[in-house]
Structure 1
């Protein structure tokens, strides 16, 4: 085992006999060039941290068995992961604290390629600094890792609880705020990316917005952390894993960035003010002309920030899965203003279908059918503006 600066051990290649004399290998995911890491990643050579929703990996493997070595920790919210095999969702489970090994498949026909994809279902947990998930290795005996086809596009989705997949799984009527009710698979981003043959990644946090959280806390602004790998993953442990590193946008040039922010700002206007515990000062979003103008400016600033980091990408502001509210007009105006001020023709606003009583999921959030409807709208839009590939 080799120790890295983050203090975790990462397996390098080693062998030991198994029943029948077949050699078992354990390799770091970073040592396998055919394995594609998904989601924002810090610079480093050690274990692979999974921060945001839908972080993970995919590969094509010809062996009969493949296992994943994991390390995890949490105080409040345990990580969950989903496993897809040849495009089918075959498993979903919580990851226990400590080190463990999970069999992804076994007993399958040797020599036949299997496409495996593993996704983190749960968002980066700002409220649980002890929450982390590391992929430390892949264990297998026999078989080869084959090259993956290049993705047709790279898509980045920036948002709040909707983009974190909150409520996308679980019974309608569930109200507990717990890890099992997050999903990266019943998710408009995954559905859109798969329809377009794209790779995708997510930047999101439940309850956060442009100017404040749903309960008016002005510290909870998603775009304040956009330039880091995952700066909202709090605490020294996540810092050691690279969460606070600058994001290297040039290493993963997005073809489109989809912004889905504004729902919590809309909700904040109906909620009591937030009181700063240190100063006693209060902050509240309210539907006054002055504040709506400030919201519009914050959206313009967000678009300009995304454009500065993604000079070649299309930028879509896609909104409305929990209703248009006051923010629809604000965001439309912001997109028009930003396009004019930057002389930028690669900006657009896309209204998304709103959840209904029949398409709501857990925690009064969009369910899988609402996510599917949003993905259909996004797929149609992106196909019309992105250059054909593949």
Structure 2
């Protein structure tokens, strides 16, 4: 039987809620661009529904949500607008905390790929949402996007179902230290180039936009290409996991753009070592990105946490971080090598699985406890 007390509220009509993830908060419906982005509410009542809109042609949208801090559902969304029940028949007098978030990274591969929040329906009252202890930003590639954290080891289809926030190390780290987090990540991208030597697929070139990875018409209308307001959300730490795809680029063929005639390649020497001038170019890109992150986040601790799919560039990244610190006199920066992924912890798509992410999260939490918790 339908609950006659249910009332639909647009976001403008809800007095209390918290937006998660980078977005343009002036937009309605509210766009959700990144993995982990979404909405959090504290609400009384017996029922809570949410109205979402999913725009895609190939890569279907996936979401997940928590009730009272525990993950209770993960699901694919149909194309178009739909209402989803987040809880039903619960004690109407208690306050339930609900956090709904996007599982899927921003999808550069598909134009006009969107998740929009239209509003909520409830028979209860929306109460204030308590701010968390810390704010963390995670910047990275497919590892940060949680690629491979669902599905069997044998899976090789590059599809939305096998990417997730809910089994990723950013989610796990944030849960462990009671942090709100924002992710900026894209599969296959690097700090200098993508895995295939494409120099346009570098994360720093998109970092200062709200969501520079979304390029379609609907994303433009939703404010994805606007300059991001760093002053509006100040992280305690920025955790960067980039370099895995830059390492792959040394082994891949030269990239060609047949329209502009541009070419790009990271070279190895005959003995398999990296060409000195290309290592220098990569170190410069790392240093330039650290300068950008510091400019945009003056008070944050910056951690370059590299690994999980090999440590080929550990020495290069560590040296680049050291040079940045020496040249800038910025001491609020660190390098951390994350544990590699053994075969038994590999997930789908030959990426780190949930257990590998859990192990990496423990290492990062231990580091952040020393850097942040003692400073509070």
**1:304 matches 2:279:** no
How many residue pairs get matched? Answer: 370
Aligned to 1:14: none
Q: TM-score under structure 1 normalisation?
A: 0.92
Shift in Å, 1:115: 1.5
Aligned to 1:353: 339
Shift in Å, 1:75: 1.5
- Cα separation, 2, equivalents of 1:174 and 1:33: 44
Question: Any gaps of 5 or more consecutive residues in structure 1?
Answer: 1-17
**1:139 matches 2:121:** yes
What pairs up with 1:55-70 in 2 under 5 angstroms? 55-70=37-52
Alignment equivalent of 2:350, drawn from 361, 364, 368: 364
Contact 2:104 2:163 in 1 (8 A): yes
Contact 1:160 1:207 in 2 (8 A): yes
**1:343 matches 2:343:** no
Aligned to 2:22: 40
Contact 1:186 1:368 in 2 (8 A): yes
CA RMSD of aligned residues (A): 1.4
Shift in Å, 1:342: 1.2
Secondary structure class of the residue paired with 2:50: strand
- Cα separation, 2, equivalents of 1:277 and 1:270: 21
Contact 2:20 2:181 in 1 (8 A): yes
Q: 1:389 to 1:304 in 2, by over 3 A?
A: closer
1:44-102: CA deviations, max 9, x gaps? Answer: 14111111111111122111100010111112111100121122221111111111101
Alignment equivalent of 1:179, drawn from 140, 152, 160: 160
Secondary structure class of the residue paired with 1:348: strand
Contact 1:152 1:389 in 2 (8 A): no
Q: TM-score under structure 2 normalisation?
A: 0.95
- Cα separation, 2, equivalents of 1:377 and 1:145: 37
Shift in Å, 1:388: 4.4
Q: 1:339 to 1:114 in 2, by over 3 A?
A: same
- Cα separation, 2, equivalents of 1:160 and 1:366: 12
Q: 1:348 to 1:33 in 2, by over 3 A?
A: farther
Shift in Å, 1:149: 2.0
Segments of 4+ in structure 1 off by > 3 A?
387-390
**1:378 matches 2:364:** yes
Aligned to 1:119: 101
Aligned to 1:12: none
Contact 2:112 2:217 in 1 (8 A): no
- Cα separation, 1, equivalents of 2:25 and 2:72: 31
What pairs up with 1:157-196 in 2 under 5 angstroms? 157-196=138-177
Question: Any gaps of 5 or more consecutive residues in structure 2?
Answer: 268-273
**1:28 matches 2:28:** no
Secondary structure class of the residue paired with 2:116: strand
What pairs up with 1:1-390 in 2 under 5 angstroms? 22-141=4-123, 143-286=124-267, 287-325=274-312, 327-388=313-374
